[in-house]
């Protein structure tokens, strides 16, 4: 690792759509500010601008990315493929730097400048950015699974809320609201009025086509509960 005076420090504030880069020397002097879109063709422009500036000053560029494994992952991979020095800056460190100012500022350029200052102060201790594809892929799968599970819970809770209005005693005949036979029943009979004229024999035969273990006692229980619940129909239902 060279002396701090040998580097051109590039602090990056990373976002989903755009990235802001601030070029700083070892004396915390801001030399240039660049804003690029989050796409490979813009990464190339950034690299060329930084290299040109570094060459004119006789310095070696070093990049500091705030959370290189989030929105800046693609940029980090690009820079590493270009054999650039890339450091991962914990967002908490940049936040502490912002808070240390007499008047706390909050904009992309100043955030990138704070990242650059952290990069200068902790150049030799900051971890190198190492975005591994296997960890990233696993993270995507875990996040996707969590989303599906949470969506399923929300949908089931919404179904409980809607069914309870039309069938107050629904738990007596379908304790599990998302059984195959139950889902068919809610779709075919969204409110008790659709059961008018339906006999236990008819309902049993219909449900057995969906789930073979349905008995006539289940159909009798459904019709009895509907009868005992009374009229649940309301305007706009």
Residue 148 lies in a domain: no
The token pair at 206 is 């219909």
pLDDT at 136: 76
With vertex at residue 190, the alpha carbon angle to CA 187 and CA 194, rounded to the nearest 5 degrees, is 110
Residues 20 and 127 in one domain: yes
pLDDT at 134: 78
Q: Helix H segments across the chain?
A: 40-57, 73-81, 91-99, 108-121, 133-166, 170-173, 180-188, 200-208, 216-229
Per-residue pLDDT of the chain in tens (237 residues, 90 and over written 9): 578 899 999 999 999 999 999 999 999 999 999 999 999 999 999 999 999 999 999 999 999 998 788 888 999 999 999 999 999 999 999 888 888 776 666 789 999 999 999 999 999 899 999 887 777 788 889 999 999 999 999 999 999 999 999 999 999 999 999 999 999 999 999 999 999 999 999 999 999 999 999 999 999 999 999 999 988 887 776
Residues 8 and 124 in one domain: yes
Residues 114 and 166 in one domain: no
Give the integer Cα–Cα distance in Å for 76 and 70.
10
Confirm if 8 and 57 have CB atoms less than 8 A apart. Answer: yes
Residue 145 lies in a domain: no
Residue 236 lies in a domain: no
Residues 62 and 172 in one domain: no
Q: Which residues contact 55 (CB under 8 A, 6 or more apart)?
A: none
Residues 126 and 165 in one domain: no
pLDDT at 37: 95
pLDDT at 217: 95
Residues 13 and 116 in one domain: yes
Domain that includes residue 209, residue range: 160-229
DSSP string across 67-120:
TTTTTTHHHHHHHHHTT-EEEEE-HHHHHHHHHTSSS---SHHHHHHHHHHHHH
Number of domains in the chain: 2
């Amino acid at each position: 690792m060279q002396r701090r005076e040998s580097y051109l420090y590039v602090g990056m504030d990373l976002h989903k759509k755009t990235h802001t880069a601030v070029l700083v020397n070892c004396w915390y002097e801001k030399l240039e500010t660049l804003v690029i879109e989050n796409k490979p063709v813009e990464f190339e422009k950034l690299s060329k601008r930084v290299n040109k500036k570094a060459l004119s000053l006789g310095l070696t560029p070093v990049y500091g990315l705030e959370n290189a494994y989030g929105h800046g992952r693609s940029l980090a991979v690009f820079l590493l493929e270009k054999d650039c020095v890339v450091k991962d800056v914990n967002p908490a460190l940049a936040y502490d730097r912002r808070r240390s100012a007499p008047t706390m500022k909050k904009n992309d350029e100043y955030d990138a400048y704070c990242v650059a200052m952290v990069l200068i102060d902790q150049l030799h201790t900051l971890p190198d950015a190492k975005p591994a594809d296997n960890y990233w892929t696993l993270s995507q799968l875990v996040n996707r699974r969590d989303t599906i599970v949470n969506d399923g819970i929300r949908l089931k809770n919404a179904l409980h809320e809607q069914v309870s209005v039309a069938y107050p005693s629904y738990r007596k005949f379908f304790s599990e609201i998302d059984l195959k036979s139950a889902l068919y029943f809610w779709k075919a009979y969204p409110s008790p009025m659709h059961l008018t004229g339906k006999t236990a024999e008819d309902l049993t035969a219909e449900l057995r086509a969906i789930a073979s273990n349905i008995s006539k006692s289940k159909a009798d229980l459904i019709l009895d509960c509907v009868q005992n619940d009374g009229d649940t129909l309301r305007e706009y239902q």
